[in-house]
Amino acid sequence: MNKNIAFVFLALFAFSCQTEKDKTTTTSEAIPPELEIAAVAEAVNTLKERLIEPTEENLKAISHPDLTYGHSTGTIEDQAAFAEALLSGNNDYRSYDISEQVIKLEGNTAWVRHIMDAEVVIPTETLNVHLNVLTVWVKKDGKWILFARQAVKV
Amino acid sequence: MKSMKNIFILGLILIYSSAFAQKPNIEESVEELRKLMITPTKEGLSSIAHYKLSYGHSLGKIENKEQFMDALVSKKTGFTDIKLSNQTIETIGKTAIVRHDFNANTLDNGEIGQIKLHILTVWLKQKKGWVLFARQAIR
């Protein structure tokens, strides 16, 4: 009886070690890093296009519901406010050029930095915006989606 | 019979320690970083920063892990006090986004100053706990 109990506990211990190990294995390790980086770059590009041609569906599809979207002015938007600013025409992107882009990823998380040069029409005027942008992406169900963004003056 | 009992107890201890090994949670890791910025050690900073760290300052300067550590350890950038407020944390799997306001008394190359910033930090959960993956400050 005691032997059996001891055996069960040892088996449980071995199992708990195993699950701990499993948790640290990331799904993207199977995909070569350069392909994964290309996938993130493509997501960044898709987001750029959707900022210019936004719809509620395409913005929600490329961002996480817990999105935190920070502007260089200090304003922070959640996913709904982020979409609303674009869809209402309060931030109407006419162009968005990316330069000096760097992407680093670890497992299912990536950060991307780039310089953004954009023409944005706001209700009172047209702005030529030159900013340093940090975005954070997470891979969910095989797809890279935006989790956080922070712009800062260059 | 006695040795079986010992194995049983050993098994219990092993399960307990493996299942409940205390790793710092995200709040504790943010606090650890705050303390390390006031009292920097190379070991501490190296352990809490991911090797792909991107550390952005409010004025546009971007540091990698080595530059971030060097600025603090060399006292080029120093803090005598840091207060964090209005903190929000969003976690998705092994990724956490922490935002807070950062009010600090600075001592850069021996010169006293004050700084007030909004900070975004990105953390990754690894085997040893949460590590800093990216940071951006804005004024």
Which chain B residue shows the shortest CA-CA distance from A131?
B60
- In order of their start, the domains of chain A are 30-153 (3.10.450.50)
Q: Using CA atoms in the order A111, A116, A121, A122, what is the torsion angle rounded to 10 degrees?
A: 50
Distance between CA atoms of residues A25 and A19, nearest Å: 10
Topology of domain B23-138 in CATH is: Nuclear Transport Factor 2; Chain: A, (3.10.450)
Report the 10 Å Cβ neighbour count for A49: 13
Residue-wise pLDDT tens digits, B26-51: 999 999 999 999 999 999 999 999 99
Report the 10 Å Cβ neighbour count for B114: 9
- Give chain A's radius of gyration (CA, Å): 21
pLDDT at residue A57, rounded to an integer:
97
Interface of A with B in 3-42 (CB under 8 A): 3, 5-6, 9-10, 12-13, 16-17, 20, 24, 26
A123 burial (CB, 10 Å; 0-12 / 13-18 / 19+) is exposed
Which chain A residue shows the shortest CA-CA distance from B2?
A2
Residue-wise pLDDT tens digits, A90-131: 999 999 999 999 999 999 999 999 999 999 999 999 999 999
Interface A–B counts its CB contacts (< 8 A) at 111
Distance between CA atoms of residues B94 and A115, nearest Å: 27
| Three-state secondary-structure class, residue A138 | strand
Q: What is the ipTM of this complex?
A: 0.84
pLDDT at residue A21, rounded to an integer:
40
Residue-wise pLDDT tens digits, B51-65: 999 999 998 899 999
Region A54-83: what's the mean pLDDT? 97
Is residue B106 less than 8 Å (CB to CB) from chain A? no
Distance between CA atoms of residues A76 and A92, nearest Å: 18
**How many Å from the N-terminal Cα to the C-terminal Cα in chain B?**
69
